[in-house]
A and B are shown apart, each in its own frame.
Chain A
């Protein structure tokens, strides 16, 4: 059975956060190669940029399973080389490991040995690239030496990626899984990053079907105090209260635990808004200006909730990339799922009436 079939059967989805079916992406690149006339170049990029707070799994995987990750990349290179060869005499596939600045410092030696005599090389993420430097098309810009920010899509990297060539961009964990699938060792598990107000922060390798509650209990992290969690993709993840933990974790597999008593709701929202504002690449108006104005509106003496809400909707509807689109996720879900609980506890502000506007 060829690797694409295996991946399809295993039902692998991308672990960078978007959960896009891996087989679909791989065949899209192969198809793009087949469609292209003339000289055919193609790139495989492993996204090890990892810039969201609360997501630390790629670091862990590279530290403990670098060989598997590299192997997964090599499988992808082989897979695409075969395609390139099948469709033309000239087929060139090159790989880049797009590596977080800090991880490179730590793991350079080890990775260099693993990458020896392969077509894959390390490309260190520029230190100022930040969160947006992990977006797949922003990575391509970084490697090409352009300004680190997302490209307009379409065209997608699968058809026109690095230097206009079909390019496969997958996350560290995805390549790790590919390696497992190839060796028939994939067990439908994934890596969860647990951070925040919990005794045992860290990365855990558990079945992907586990509910949040089960994960917290299995890792002996279930809090004894009133709490809420943010899960999925770090700061962009959805916020859930302690009664909503029966579902599984989506996105990049992060769970951040917040103690209700320890944290002030204003500070939490402010920190999210600050994060989005400082990480916005500044390309499109709704995100560059919108994230800035959200903070301004929120911190004003009297918050204009209608405007606040409009700004959030506008971000979701008109941003160029997923960073802008996801700004409303944590804020809305926090106000919906967690805020009423806090409000019951202190019964002070007239905030509830304002949330009505936010739905």
Chain B
């Protein structure tokens, strides 16, 4: 199994006629993603990469049946409207690739998603990839590269950095460790599925036996992962690296942030919290593959 994507789920591409949309949709299809249709307002009626293009999501749903997933390649100022359209048309998972989406727009998308029981990855995400099954977004780039870099295995990968998502999976693969799914949670402050939510999905996935996480300074995603382990909601072993050790401590741009967050967000705080609950935290990124291998061996997990 995998989380979020497989080779069956039907996928819509919003913004399929644009530079990124067209290119990425074609690469996703090459990798095996079941792309069924595209939507670009005002450009319906044509065909791109062999799938029909419609003016609205509802029109596309009427013609092709409901979509499991929509991937958005839309200029940031227009993302809000496109995302709300997809959610209201019944799409249950959105992958919002663009960055620079205004934060209040993201809050509105989050509000609507909750109301309609939908989820979204991103914004500012490289996407999701399940080795050998499918990709949403742009992880791996060319299908041939993605095939040679990643293969199926017991590890779930979640990362706050796009490039590092692929890097982790590649370096783990070099050590003989395959993955169930790679998730880039997105680089923004508010994201639809932060680490704790992705890790809950990995916990439920029977094929994922261990979780590798790339965290970063700022915010509280990693501390909340530790909370989940402490409460017993997550029991699978976690191997983590936290980026930003040498960086100046995160900018606090308000008193309110300090009042609400207290001391969450620092490198030391994150490492300490994760270690307290028994997660393996490596000092150097290059140590991740080896540390992961040891943890898998210790737990008797087959590669």
Chains A and B bind each other: no
